Amino acid sequence: MAESSSARFIVSGRVQGVSFRAATRQEGQRLGLRGWVRNQDDGTVEVFACGGEELLRRLEEWLWRGPAGARVAMVVRFPASAEPLAGFDVRF
């Protein structure tokens, strides 16, 4: 089994009001990651995810595309400490 890693992503561009959170939750679940996604007051979307490094890389690649209505300008990845999580949720 691959070692678990954690990462935090900040996604900017046209990423709010285009179902970005719901689509990110679906992609995180599809990949078998644990984590959460939420809108930020500055118009960005924050994503926290835990799982194997390859799966985190695949999530990051997906974040650059996002759902059909999104126009992603930038994805920045930060290291993060693991959180005790089950599943992948949308946070408000």
Q: Tens digits of per-residue pLDDT, 37-70?
A: 999 999 999 999 999 999 999 999 999 999 999 9
- pLDDT on residue 2: 54
Stronger pLDDT, 22 or 85, i.e. the higher one: 22
Look over the chain and give the mean of its residue pLDDT values, rounded to a whole number: 94
For the question of residue 39 being annotated catalytic, the response is: yes
Residue 1 pLDDT > 50 = no
Which distant-in-sequence residues (6+ apart) come within 8 Å of 26 by Cβ?
A: none
Average pLDDT over residues 27-45: 97
Round the CA-based radius of gyration of the chain to a whole number and report it: 12
Task: Indicate the pairing of strand 45-52 with strand 71-79.
Answer: unpaired
CATH number 3.40.800.10 is the correct assignment for the domain at 4-83: no
- Which candidate in 8, 14, 38, 39 is catalytic? 39
**What does the alpha-carbon distance between residue 52 and residue 28 come to, in Å, rounded to a whole number?**
12
